[in-house]
């Protein structure tokens, strides 16, 4: 998970994104790399940046933030797959946690993913080892669970009361990555769909990227250059890295045969975030990770470049060495969970009215309020 980064240049290409009638048709990665550029920082997309230290005590220590969800003024942090801790974003005080490891009803071996219900009153978790989905109420009390026929690494709410389930090839009997759909109320699988032509060759088990917005649910899995639109009837390619690996094609409808097999590409790409204003993604070029995206309204593309791996993000000009890459992105906020030790290192090099924490304290949440 990207945290804090030293020595990067945030660059924006003035070319590289082609639009027709306000719709982005493709994102030309090669032109981003070679085109004219200008500097950009987090204040170009956010009107306010706030640092909120999370309360520190023996009952709420956070190890590694695997996933972050913000709902209203509450921040939910999946801590190392073992617990979910809830903090108040107004002052950072600890509210409660889910910590029910075990093998019995309402218990989990390891949380690989979690989501909140649409009304925010339930927490839904996936237990890969226990092969089940568990629902808890907002007070962390067990409500119900559903046993699954395959292991699940990532989940997403879908179509009012359904849950999309991502199972990598290593966790099911077909040996092909798949998406299943669980009816939460009926507690049954209503369909399973294999990903076409792209059986993962990776020996590692990685989560997928689910993204939900006004256009519905989309998904991208590891070792695949395509984002798919998701429905219970099938998976439709919506964006794909072209055969030469030099552009992302939007609303791509042609056959995907051969896309996964071609390994001598200009780049490969991995995670992405999206809201109504931004499409952010990570690419690999010359064995280095680079992060960039598109401002949807203007069609302007940008690339966050740097020397080194995993060290990129939006520069915060008042905190020069801080690079912000979202752990959570919504229409209102871009959120990053920042390790207290790294935060203290930054604090020692600047002057300003910033919160003071100890190196051993809980993380600091960086909340960027979107424009």
Predicted confidence (pLDDT) per residue in 82-113, tens digit: 999 999 999 999 999 999 999 999 999 999 99
Please choose, from the candidates 188, 129, 180, 132, the residue with its C-alpha nearest in 3D space to the C-alpha of residue 156.
180
Tell me which residue range forms the domain holding 204.
Answer: 100-273
Say if residue 260's pLDDT is above 70. no
Region of 317 (left: φ > 0; alpha: ψ -120 to 50; beta: rest) is: alpha
241, part of any domain:
yes
Which residues make Cβ contacts (< 8 Å) with residue 192, sequence separation at least 6?
A: 178, 179, 180, 181
**Res 25: pLDDT:** 56
* Residue that the structure tokens 């550029």 belong to: 37
Q: How confident is the model at residue 123 (pLDDT cuts 50, 70, 90)?
A: very high
- The answer to whether 65 and 337 have CB atoms below 8 angstroms apart is yes
- Rounded CA separation 232/234 (Å): 6
**pLDDT computed for residue 305 by the predictor:** 54
State residue 13's pLDDT score: 33
Of 14-18, 56-60, 294-298, 343-347, which gets the smallest average pLDDT?
14-18
Q: What's the pLDDT band for 170 if we cut at 50, 70, 90? A: confident
pLDDT of residue 141: 96
Question: What is the band of 280 on the pLDDT scale with cuts at 50, 70, 90?
Answer: confident
Tokens of 301: 């593309």
Q: Does 169 fall in a domain?
A: yes
Taking the C-alpha atoms of residue 327 and residue 3, their distance in angstroms, rounded to an integer, is 9
Question: Residues of 53-80 as b/e, b for ≥16 C-beta within 10 angstroms?
Answer: bbbbeeebebeebbbbbbeeebbbbbbe
8 Å CB contact between 317 and 338: no
Q: Are 239 and 252 in contact (CB under 8 A)?
A: yes
The verdict on residue 3 lying in a domain is no
Tell me what percent of the residues of the chain surpass a pLDDT of 70: 73
User: Residue 289: is its pLDDT beyond 60?
Assistant: yes
- Looking at residue 184, its pLDDT comes to 93
pLDDT in tens, 325-335: 899 998 899 99
Share of the chain above pLDDT 90, in %: 43
Query: CATH no. for residue 245?
Result: 2.120.10.30
- 16 within a domain of the structure (yes/no): no
Cα–Cα distance, 266 to 285 (Å, whole number) = 7
The pLDDT value recorded for residue 352 is 77
* Average pLDDT of the chain to the nearest whole number: 79
When pLDDT is cut at 50, 70 and 90, the band that residue 291 belongs to is confident
The number of CA neighbours under 13 Å toward the Cβ of 358 is 5
Q: Tell whether 204 is covered by a domain.
A: yes
339 inside domain: no
**Number of folded domains in the chain?**
1
196-248 residue pLDDT tens: 655 455 556 788 889 887 678 988 887 776 788 899 988 887 776 554 544 45
Which residue, 146, 157, 145, 90, is CA-closest to 120? 157
Q: How far apart are the first and last CA of the chain?
A: 25
pTM of the model: 0.85
155: which 2 tokens? 């989940």
Q: Residue 188's pLDDT is what?
A: 94
Helix (H), strand (E) counts: the chain: 2, 31
pLDDT beyond 90 at 143 = yes
DSSP secondary-structure letter at 340? H
Rg, the chain, Cα only: 21
Rounded Cα gap, residues 368 and 333, in angstroms? 6
CA 66/CA 190 separation, integer angstroms: 29
Asked if residue 19 belongs to a domain, the reply is: no
Contact criterion met (CB below 8 Å) for 181 and 231: no
pLDDT at residue number 71: 94
* 231 within a domain of the structure (yes/no): yes
Residues with Cβ within 8 Å of residue 128, at least 6 apart in sequence: 109, 110, 112, 151, 152, 153, 171
Residue 18 in this model has a pLDDT that exceeds 80: no
> What pLDDT is stored for residue 21 in this prediction?
41
């Amino acid at each position: 998970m990207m945290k804090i980064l030293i020595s990067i240049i945030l660059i924006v290409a003035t070319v590289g994104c082609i639009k027709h009638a306000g719709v982005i048709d493709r994102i030309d990665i090669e032109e981003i790399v070679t085109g004219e550029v200008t500097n950009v920082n987090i204040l170009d997309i956010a009107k306010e940046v706030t640092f909120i230290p999370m309360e520190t005590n023996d009952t709420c220590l956070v190890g590694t933030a695997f996933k972050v969800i913000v709902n209203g003024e509450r921040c939910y942090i999946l801590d190392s797959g073992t617990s979910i801790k809830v903090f108040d974003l107004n002052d950072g005080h600890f509210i409660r946690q889910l910590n029910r490891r075990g093998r019995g009803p309402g218990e989990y071996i390891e949380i690989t993913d979690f989501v909140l219900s649409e009304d925010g009153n339930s927490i839904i978790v996936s237990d890969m080892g226990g092969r089940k989905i568990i629902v808890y109420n907002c007070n962390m009390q067990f409500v119900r669970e559903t046993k699954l026929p395959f292991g699940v690494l990532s989940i997403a709410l879908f179509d009012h009361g359904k849950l999309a389930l991502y199972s990598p090839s290593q966790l099911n009997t077909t040996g092909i990555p798949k998406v299943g759909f669980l009816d939460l109320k009926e507690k049954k699988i209503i369909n399973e769909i294999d990903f076409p032509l792209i059986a993962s060759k990776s020996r590692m088990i990685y989560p997928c990227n689910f993204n939900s917005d006004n256009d519905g649910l989309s998904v991208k899995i590891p070792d695949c250059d395509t984002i798919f639109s998701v429905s219970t009837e099938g998976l439709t390619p919506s964006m794909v890295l072209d055969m030469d690996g030099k552009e992302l094609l939007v609303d791509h409808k042609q056959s995907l045969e051969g896309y996964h097999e071609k390994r001598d590409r200009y780049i490969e790409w991995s995670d992405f975030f999206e809201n109504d204003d931004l499409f952010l993604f990570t690419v690999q070029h010359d064995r280095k990770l680079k992060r960039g995206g598109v401002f949807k309204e203007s069609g302007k593309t940008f690339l966050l470049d740097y020397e080194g791996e995993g060290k990129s993000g939006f520069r915060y000009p008042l905190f020069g060495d801080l690079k912000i890459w979202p752990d959570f992105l919504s229409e209102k906020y871009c959120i990053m969970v920042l390790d207290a030790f790294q935060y203290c290192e930054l604090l020692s090099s600047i002057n300003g009215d910033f919160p003071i924490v100890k190196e051993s304290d809980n993380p600091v949440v960086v909340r960027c309020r979107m424009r």
